[in-house]
Each structure stands twice: as C-alpha cells, then as structure tokens.
Copies of this chain bind each other. A is one copy, B any other.
Amino acid sequence: MTAMTTKPRTGGRRGRAAKRATPAVKTFDRAWRQWVRPYAPVEQFSADQIEAIHEASLTVLKEVGIHVMNDEARALYVSAGMTEAPGEIIRFDPDALMELIAKAPAEITLHGRGSDRQVTLGGKHVGICTTGGTPNFSDLQGGRRPGTLASLDDFCRVSQAFDVIHMIGPFVEAQDIPPSLRHFAMTKSVLTLTDKVPFVFFRGTEAVADAYEMIRIAQGLSHEEFAETPCSYSVANSNSPLMLDLLMCRGIIDAARAGQVMVLTPFTLSGAMAPVTIPGALVQQNAEALAGLSLSQIVRPGAPVVYGSFTSNVDMRSGAPAFGTPEYVKAAFASGQLARRYNLPLRSSGVTASNAPDAQAAYEMQMSLWGALMGGTNLLLHGAGWLEGGLTASAEKFIMDVEMLQMFAELFKPLEVNEDTLGLAAIRDVGHGGHFFGTQHTIERFETAFYSPLLSDWSNFENWTDRGSLDATQRANRIFHDTVAAHEPPPLPADRLEEMEAFVARRIAEGGADIDR
C-alpha cells in the first residue's frame, strides 16, 4: 500500500516548517485502541425494577404505539406482525417485538480504513467517538462562530492524533458548503485526514448512499464485502415522544440494507419530551429504542444496531436542557441494565451544558463519563469536544476530554498482583524512612508505571507561575493548535482517492443529494 500512497490535498496547506513536535501524543498502546471495562457495571435498579420498566415500555408500544411517518416503514412493521392504526400509528405485538430484538447481534466489530483501527462494541468492549452535529465551533482565539469545512478539518486532524479516539463524529456542520453537497465534503475530510471509523448522517437515502459509496471506495472493498463489513455508524433519533420521522425511518432502513451500524437514540429529556420522573423517562426511552431497533431487524435480521440512551433532564425553571446531572448519571446506569437485558450494545454520551470550556464543562463531562463508562456503555458518543449542550464543538474542551479519556483508558487497565508487584523485596530494601526513588524495583518500572498526562500540569506553584500561570483551558488551546500543525494525513492509496474524487465529481454534476427524503 505504501508505494501507492499520496497525500490528500487538504493536508498540504501547512509546510514542514510549521509542524511542531507534540511529545504529549503517545505512541501505540493496545489498551488505548480497544477499551475493555474491567469493573462490574454499576446498577441503578434491582432486577425487578428493570423488569417493571421493560413491561411498562411494552405496554406503551402495544397500547399507545409509535407514530411512524414513512409508508415503507409502516408496511415493514405490519409485515412483521405489528398493527397499523389511523394516524400512521404502529402498535406493537410484544412477542413479535422481542423476537425481532433477539435477532440483533450482542457484539459488533467496526472497521476503520487504517490498519489496526477496528473497534469492537458490546460486552465489556467500548469504542470512543468524537463529538458531532454542532452548528458552531469555538476556540480562545476566535470565540464561538458558525462551523466551516476548515474547522471540521482541524478537528479531524486532532482526532487522528489520539489513540483513545476510535471513531470520528461529524464534529461541526460545514455551513459554508450547500446542504445538498455538504455530505461529500464532510465525508471526504474524515476519510482523508483520518483513518478511523466515519459517521454517516441520516439526511435522506441519496446522501446516505453517497457516503456509503465513498467509504466503500476508501476502504477498497467490493460492494459485496462492504455489505458484510460494518465500517460506518449513524444515529437515528426518535422524535420524542413516540415518533419516528421520515428521515429516521429511511436511515434505519438504508443502514440495515447496507449492513452498516445504526444507533437508535431516543431524545428523552425528562420533564420536556419525556415524563418528569427518571423511571418514566426510561420507560419512554426503552419503548422508542425497541421500536426503532426492531425495524432494522425486520429489514435485515442480524443488522448491527446499538441501543442508544440520551436520557437527561431539563431545568424546570427555564426548560433548558441539563447534562452531566445526577439524574443523567442514574439514567446512564439504568440504561446499561436495560441494554444488557436485551443483550445489545449500549450507546451513551459525554456531555455538558456549560457555555465555556471551564470547570463546569470538566465536572459535568466527568459526571457523564463515569455514568456512561461505569454503567457499562459500549459506545461513547460526543467523547471529545462537545460544549454548550451540543451547540458548539470546542477546541479546548476537545483536549480536556482527551485527557479525561486517556485517564479512563489507563483506569481500565487491570493491575497484576504477584510477587514482583507486591514489592516486598523493595519494602525490605528501603526499610524505615528513606525513599524508593533509587531502588532497582523503581528503576525497572518508572518509565511506564504511571499515566503521564497530556494537559494536566503537576509542577509546583513557582514553576507554574514562571511559565505564565496558564490555566488548563489556555494550555488546552496550545495543545490543540500544536496538534493540528503536526498532523500527517494517514496513507490513502492514490487510486482510491482518485476513484472517490471522480465519484464525488459525478454526483455533484448530477446536482448532489435530495436531503429531504
């Protein structure tokens, strides 16, 4: 492959001279590339309470049903034993529904185009995505501004650098590209600036097909191979409460036919689009998730799907959504139990409502990360960069999040207990008083004994002051831009790039995609 590689043009705009070393970027570590949770998941509810939520959600699906706003989807549901009622309502037969859910795989392996960029979701395995879908981006230099393709490209460059990130979220909207052509540009950026698993927006059948074709070409797969190889992921949000709109129905059907990963995530904000009680919001989440996931299994039994949880609450004084709250954590723990109830991989998120990449952003993000990761999530969306309730992708928040993710990746490495690690000989050698700095036991291990931080500054106050008293946000800004500057596009065979560009040129000449159906 190396002889055929070329550099994508987007990578050429910075000269060698501008590139700086980023020693903070760590080299290959298997445990960072594929996270495996070593702890038993934290449980919010008893088994009986989980059953009560499950049963209530089946009652909702049977008696209230889902408003399904697409003819083909309703016909598919009816073909599988569900009932259509006036007003485009599908009512679900609980037994037929559970039979469909049982067809979904418990574990999915996604393939990025880079070697060793596969990631498994399910069981104890966890994959980490960057943020996506934000209209704005921000950094300390320019503040908050509408997303552009250039800003998306910078986030792609930084995402490629850090091994704790496995999958690329769509970051910011490239608002300088017309909507009917945007998916071409955004997909190309991800496929040329990174070699990790790309995201595909459900913005109409044509746009989805375009993105799948670009990914297929970049991966060098035949159409047959692509249909059997999950190498992209998409999110279908139900329109809570209890609706599946046209584009989501189309996306669910399209992804299942293509054999690509679909994450069904109800947007159940407790107190607004879902009941004000967390158990009630979970009943509705579960109903909407099972409904959407079953459609995939009707289209293609065994289609790779993920149970999505995004249940949070609103500020009841203002209606504003809140994230990383105690209620969010409880819902995350409970969602892990529900996903395991169905033997499905779970999606959760790293989130905050903060308007600035500050301490609030850090502690809300941590709350959501602990809820997700200790709750047993298998797919962390918005793992790096999300700010302002999802309205902004922040450069500084991205680096803060990478630091937190690296800490979790290290936390997830089990500790061995044996004669060497118990250290009795070292304790004997050092005896009373004294220190362990110079012992053989320390010298043999010190380079890899502890996590070495990317962003955290552990120097003393005097040294920190001498270096300008930069807080974590200011340091994160530097690291982000240094990492952008040091980016090297991962090799992509020239023939694949040419084929992709020719495909895009043809499709643009045809007028792009109809993103409304």
> Could you pull out 10 A-B pairs where Cβ atoms are within 8 angstroms?
A64-B431, A271-B436, A271-B437, A277-B421, A316-B446, A321-B458, A326-B410, A366-B366, A366-B370, A392-B461
CB of A18 within 8 Å of the partner chain: no
| A415 in contact with B44 (CB, 8 Å) | yes
Distance in angstroms from A196 CB to nearest chain B CB is: 23
A447: B residues at CB distance < 8 A: 316
Contact with B along A437-478 (1 / 0, CB 8 A): 100011001110111110111111100110001011100100
A355: B residues at CB distance < 8 A: 457, 459-461, 464-465, 469
A472: B residues at CB distance < 8 A: 354, 356, 358-361
| B415 in contact with A446 (CB, 8 Å) | no
| B64 in contact with A428 (CB, 8 Å) | yes
Distance in angstroms from A34 CB to nearest chain B CB is: 17
A471: B residues at CB distance < 8 A: 356, 358-360
| B458 in contact with A315 (CB, 8 Å) | yes
Contact with B along A258-281 (1 / 0, CB 8 A): 000000000000111111111111
Stretch from A97-105, A117-125, A174-182, A399-407 that touches the partner: A399-407
CB of A242 within 8 Å of the partner chain: yes
| A325 in contact with B358 (CB, 8 Å) | no
| B417 in contact with A279 (CB, 8 Å) | yes
| Chain B, residue nearest A67 (CB) | B432
| B241 in contact with A423 (CB, 8 Å) | no
| B275 in contact with A436 (CB, 8 Å) | yes
From 41 to 89 in chain A, residues with beta carbon under 8 angstroms from any chain B beta carbon are: 42-45, 49, 52-53, 56, 59-60, 63-64, 66-67, 87, 89
Given contact pairs A275-B436, A326-B410, A242 touches B366 in the complex (Cβ within 8 A): no
A391: B residues at CB distance < 8 A: 461
Further contacts, 4 of them, CB under 8 A, given A66-B432, A280-B421, A280-B441: A280-B423, A313-B450, A326-B413, A361-B472
| A360 in contact with B457 (CB, 8 Å) | yes
Given contact pairs A243-B433, A271-B436, A427 touches B60 in the complex (Cβ within 8 A): yes
CB of A367 within 8 Å of the partner chain: yes
Distance in angstroms from A396 CB to nearest chain B CB is: 8
| Chain B, residue nearest A66 (CB) | B432
Complex: how many Å from CA A357 to CA B359? 8
A239: B residues at CB distance < 8 A: 433
Complex: how many Å from CA A354 to CA B459? 8
Given contact pairs A271-B442, A319-B437, A437-B319, A283 touches B422 in the complex (Cβ within 8 A): yes
A281: B residues at CB distance < 8 A: 423
| A67 in contact with B433 (CB, 8 Å) | yes
CB of A330 within 8 Å of the partner chain: yes
Distance in angstroms from A432 CB to nearest chain B CB is: 4
Distance in angstroms from A340 CB to nearest chain B CB is: 16
* Copies held by the complex: 2
| Chain B, residue nearest A447 (CB) | B316
Given contact pairs A366-B362, A431-B242, A275 touches B426 in the complex (Cβ within 8 A): yes
| Chain B, residue nearest A242 (CB) | B432
| B423 in contact with A275 (CB, 8 Å) | yes
CB of A481 within 8 Å of the partner chain: no
| A458 in contact with B318 (CB, 8 Å) | yes
| A39 in contact with B40 (CB, 8 Å) | no
Given contact pairs A89-B432, A358-B473, A359-B358, A424 touches B59 in the complex (Cβ within 8 A): yes
CB of A342 within 8 Å of the partner chain: no
A437: B residues at CB distance < 8 A: 271-272, 319
CB of A13 within 8 Å of the partner chain: no
A446: B residues at CB distance < 8 A: 271, 276, 316
CB of A191 within 8 Å of the partner chain: no
- Set B357, B366, B432, B476: member contacting A367, Cβ < 8 A: B366
Complex: how many Å from CA A370 to CA B42? 12
| A64 in contact with B271 (CB, 8 Å) | no
CB of A420 within 8 Å of the partner chain: yes
| A424 in contact with B60 (CB, 8 Å) | yes
Give 10 closest A-B pairs by Cβ, nearest first.
Answer: A280-B423, A275-B423, A366-B366, A362-B362, A326-B410, A67-B432, A360-B472, A358-B471, A359-B362, A359-B472
Complex: how many Å from CA A403 to CA B366? 13
CB of A235 within 8 Å of the partner chain: no
A358: B residues at CB distance < 8 A: 358-359, 471-473
Given contact pairs A358-B471, A428-B63, A458-B315, A326 touches B363 in the complex (Cβ within 8 A): no
- Set B52, B356, B427, B434: member contacting A280, Cβ < 8 A: B427
- Set B39, B271, B279, B370: member contacting A43, Cβ < 8 A: B39
Given contact pairs A243-B432, A272-B437, A456-B354, A422 touches B43 in the complex (Cβ within 8 A): no
Interface centre among A60, A364, A417 (most CB of B within 10 A): A417
- Set B56, B277, B319: member contacting A449, Cβ < 8 A: B277
CB of A411 within 8 Å of the partner chain: yes
